[in-house]
Amino acid sequence: MPTSRHIGLTRYADLPIKVKVTLLLALTAAFSAVVAGTVIIAGDIRELRTTMVNRVSGLADVVGANTAAAIVFDDPAAAREVLESLSREPIIGAACIYRPDGTVFASYGAPHGGAWPTTAPDGTTFADNHISVFSTIREGGEPVGTVLLCAHADELRERVTRAVLAALAAIGGTIGLAVAVSARLQRLVSDPILKLAEAAGRVSAGGDYSIRVAKQSNDEIGRLCDGFNDMLEQIQRRDRALEFLAAIEQAGDAIVITGPDGTIEYVNPSFERMTGYTRVEVVGGKPSILKSGRQSDSFYRDLWEALKRGDVWKGHFTNRRKDGSLYEEEAAISPVRDAAGTIVKYVATKRDVTREHRIEEQMRQSQKMEAIGELAGGIAHDLNNVLTVINGHAELLMERTKGGNASVTKSATEILSSGQRAALLVRQILAFSRRQMLQPKVLDLNGVVESMKGMLQCLVSERIEVALALDPEAGFVEADPSQLEQVLVDLAVNARDAMPKGGRLVIGTENASPTENAGADVSLAQARPDLRSGPHVVLSVSDTGCGMTADVKSRIFEPFFTTKDKSKGTGLGLAMVYGIVKQSGGEIEVQSAPEQGTTFRIHLPVAGTRSLSELADATTQHAVRGSETVLVVEDEASVREFVTTVLKGLGYTVLEASDGLDALRAAGEHAGPVHLAITDLAMPAMGGGRLADKLARVRPGAQVLYISGYSSGEGASIESAGPNMHVLDRPFSATTLAQKVKEVLSHGSSRSAVV
Ligand SMILES: Nc1ncnc2c1ncn2[C@@H]1O[C@H](COP(=O)(O)OP(=O)(O)OP(=O)(O)O)[C@@H](O)[C@H]1O
Ligand SMILES: [Mg+2]
């Protein structure tokens, strides 16, 4: 049955190859031996039997011929005599002559089995190792009787036995030989197969594809070894290729592979992240998709020439992302050659260095500003000394020529006015070079901005809308309030100049921690680790004006850099802003593009953790309210009005005067005490100094606060402030004014004003 055969085969199938080979060989050999032996023996026996049969038949014929007459003449003795002559033939054991009626006529020897068989037709029979041959006896052609010869077939049996033994010996020998051959075959066949199997097992268990099987022959097994080793080699190569691919796919740098004509064939995920283009979008296209227009045509020409020469090209690109933004890129492009040395590809590794570039730019910028500040500060310091001498002597000269030569007085006045103008410039430069004394206070930026809104609106004219975007939660900063006001004024004036046809000026505050900020602020944090370490407040001033080119933007903080007419700008505004911000521990950055407006962002570290209510208390404490009487002497009606409004608002009683004489009159007329006189240093007819002199006689207890600054009024009497005098520098804010008034009044009790 097929099933049983199948089961049997399965059983054999699991036997080791060695056993299978041995069995196969042994069976084949034994079968061959048996077949060969059988064929030989059968042939041999047949031949022997034929020989024997022929011989016995021949003897039977001879006996028949010699006994025919005896039968005819019924002479059994003669027939017996013939039969006995058979004793010379050892293989004949018995013989018998039958009469035609089948009765025994004469016999020789004893019949096998004890009785003579009945007659039979001519022929030969084999039985019990005997050969019986019947032959008809004829006389004159007529049958007269039958002769039977019985011969021993022992020789035949011996022959068969000998042949079988020989065959068995041959089979045994053949099997032995088969076993010996199979052992040899085992070394040639099953050992290599076993090794292959072991190697395959190790590969699948350990994944070690570096294993190789030693080839022992060139037969099928040898070819199998070669195939196996080749397969492992290919797997290893594919593994290595996959590892390379994984490395390229996961590389932090962008990698682009192009054909020799620059057609993109591959980009890795870093490229996609860097440029915003997906692989599908760029493969088949050209790298020029990233062109920003910042590099010249000759730049690309040189690049291609170098690549075609087979050189590695290294350089810097400013490229454009898919979203249109620009980024800085360090790139290295290398030709890839085939075995014949032909360039078949280019591989480019690219790194986005925008952040590093920006930080470097900022560093360079701040180093440049540092150096300029150092230089300008040094010059301003020396110049200050020189100006002190010039201005001092000009004043002396004015005193000495008073009432004398009018033209000399006028010259002295001119010298002093120019000297004071120069002193103002020097002060600005000192602000830029961070060499001025600051009086930092913890401030609510929102409060400062709000209090200045009205003033800024006046400053920029009604063509420009001033809007505030203040974060009510904005933290407090520590800065000099008057300097901060100066910063806002400078930025607002610049915004005004940038929006001659009007626009919008937005001043905002917001809390920021660099980690939350994107873009520029992150690089700012890297450039300024001190700002990174804690939260900071950003004061921003944005306009919708003409904006700046990159070139202008890179120079705006330099002192004396201006794009305005000589009459309009000195180029010191932003230099001062820069100095003040830096000196306050902050940082300033600008975002601007032509016709896109400008935004200045000033980062100031958050001061302490005081809450709004605490600050409110502090502000009230500081404050600024009062009930004393103040005499305001100022020839500029607008300034006088401003001062008067502020002071009245704070609870002071205010007496107004437009010049010295008016002031003396007002002081005289006032019934109550005059605690403080605020006077312009430079006024027509009588300057602030002389007024103070005179006032001291009328109101000896009154303190004096001078308003400094150049006035171009005709015939102005200009006086400079001496030491130990209270001076309020122009321009000043309401806060500064209030604080200064409070400060001077509080001095009143301790010392009287030096006038
Ligand atoms: N908001 C702005 N929009 C466009 N350009 C600006 C802006 N602010 C400054 N600039 C450019 O920066 C230059 C330098 O400004 P800065 O304030 O230092 O000097 P200035 O305004 O020219 O003169 P000054 O302020 O001394 O009167 C300006 O001349 C102008 O070109
Ligand atoms: Mg300016």
Backbone phi, then psi, for 711, in 5-degree steps? Answer: -125, 135
Q: How far is residue 583's CA from residue 16's CA, in Å, rounded to a whole number?
A: 92
- Tokens 């009765």, residue located: 103
Which residues' Cβ are closer than 6 Å to ligand 1?
490, 494-495, 498, 543, 545-548, 552, 556, 561-564, 569-575, 598
* Residue 274 in domain: yes
Closest ligand by atom to 493 CA: 2
Coil, strand or helix: which one is 742? helix
Regarding whether 585 and 448 lie in a shared domain, the answer is: yes
End-to-end C-alpha distance for the chain, whole angstroms: 139
Atom of ligand 1 nearest to the CA of 563: 29
Tens digit of each residue's pLDDT (9 = 90 or more) over 137-192: 988 888 899 999 888 877 777 877 887 787 788 778 877 887 777 777 777 777 78
Distance 496 CA to ligand 1 centre (A): 10
- Predicted pLDDT of residue 678: 93
Residue whose CA is at the smallest distance from ligand 1 atom 1: 495
Compute CA distances 125 → 121, 129, 150, 161, whole Å.
11, 10, 10, 21
| pTM for this prediction | 0.48
Looking at the 3D structure of the chain, how many domains does it have?
Answer: 5
For residues 198 and 705, what is the distance between their CA atoms, to the nearest angstrom? 105
Q: In terms of residue numbers, what domain contains 677?
A: 619-745
Q: Is the peptide bond before 731 cis (omega within 30 degrees of 0)?
A: yes
pLDDT for res 298: 94
CA 561 / ligand 1 centre spacing (Å): 8
Identify which of 428, 543, 574, 581 to mutate to test ligand 1's pocket (most ligand atoms within 8 A of the CB): 574
Ligand number, closest to the Cα atom of 568: 1
Asked if the structure places residue 189 within a domain, the reply is no
What is the structure's pLDDT at 711? 39
* pLDDT at site 543: 97
* Closest-lying ligand 1 atom to the alpha carbon of residue 576: 18
Please indicate, yes or no, whether residues 710 and 603 belong to a single structural domain of this protein.
no
| Ligand 1, atom nearest to 568 Cα | 27
Which ligand has the nearest atom to the CA of 598? 1
Q: Is residue 371 part of a domain?
A: yes
Q: Determine, yes or no, domain membership for 245.
A: no
- Atom from ligand 1 closest to the CA of residue 543: 1
CA distances from 500 to 329, 540, 579, 590, 668 (A): 38, 21, 27, 20, 49
Predicted pLDDT at 526: 47
Question: By the 8 A CB rule, do 109 and 70 touch?
Answer: no
Cα–Cα distance between 692 and 674 in angstroms, integer? 13
pLDDT at 726: 84
The confidence score (pLDDT) of residue 728 equals 81
Cβ atoms within 10 Å of 250's Cβ, excluding its own: 10
> 334: which strand partners?
347
Whether 452 and 582 share a structural domain? yes
Whichever domain contains 143, its CATH number is: 3.30.450.20
- pLDDT score at 533: 58
Q: Report the pLDDT value the prediction gives residue 335, as an integer from 0 to 100.
A: 96
At 734 the pLDDT is 67
- Low-confidence stretches of the chain (pLDDT < 50) are 1-7, 515-523, 525-526, 532, 609-622, 710-721, 749-755
Among 565, 598, 614, the domain-final residue is 614
pLDDT value, residue 618 = 45
Task: Give a yes or no: residue 12 inside a domain.
Answer: no
Ligand 1 closest atom vs CA 428: 26
Are 607 and 740 in the same domain? no
Centre of ligand 2 from the C-alpha of residue 325, in Å: 30
Residue nearest to atom 9 of ligand 1 (CA): 494
Same domain, 105 and 153: yes
d(CA 287, CA 281): 11
Tokens coding 714: 């005709």
What pLDDT sits at residue 752? 34
Closest-CA residue, ligand 1 atom 7, reads: 494
595 shares its domain with 456: yes
Contact of 449 with 505, CB cutoff 8 Å: no
pLDDT value for 528: 55
Nearest ligand to the CA of 575 is 1
Residue 265 to residues 256, 313, 342, 615, Cα–Cα distance (Å): 8, 19, 18, 63
Closest residue CA from atom 4 of ligand 1: 547
Residue 413 lies in a domain: yes
With CA atoms as reference, report the closest residue to 406 among 421, 710, 414.
Answer: 414
Ligand 1 atom 27: the closest Cα is on which residue?
569
Cα 372 to ligand 1 centre (Å): 18
Query: In 91-211, where does DSSP find H-type helix?
Result: 154-188, 190-206
> Which of 323, 352, 381 lies at the terminal end of a domain, its last residue?
352
Ligand 1 centre to CA of 580 (Å) is 16
Out of 322, 352, 382, pick the residue that ends a domain. 352
276 and 330 within one domain:
yes
Residues 136 and 117 occupy one common structural domain: yes
Q: Are 284 and 418 in a shared domain?
A: no
Mean of the per-residue pLDDT values for the chain?
83
Report pLDDT for 615. 44
How far does the centroid of ligand 1 lie from the alpha carbon of residue 570, in Å? Answer: 9
Q: What is the pLDDT of residue 592?
A: 94
In this structure, the residue with its CA closest to atom 10 of ligand 1 is 494
Q: Rounded to the nearest whole angstrom, what is the distance from the C-alpha of residue 370 to the centroid of ligand 1?
A: 19
Q: Are residues 610 and 648 in the same domain?
A: no
Helix H, strand E, coil C: the string for 458-497 is HHHCCCEEEEEEECCCCCEEEECHHHHHHHHHHHHHHHHH
Domain-located, residue 380: yes
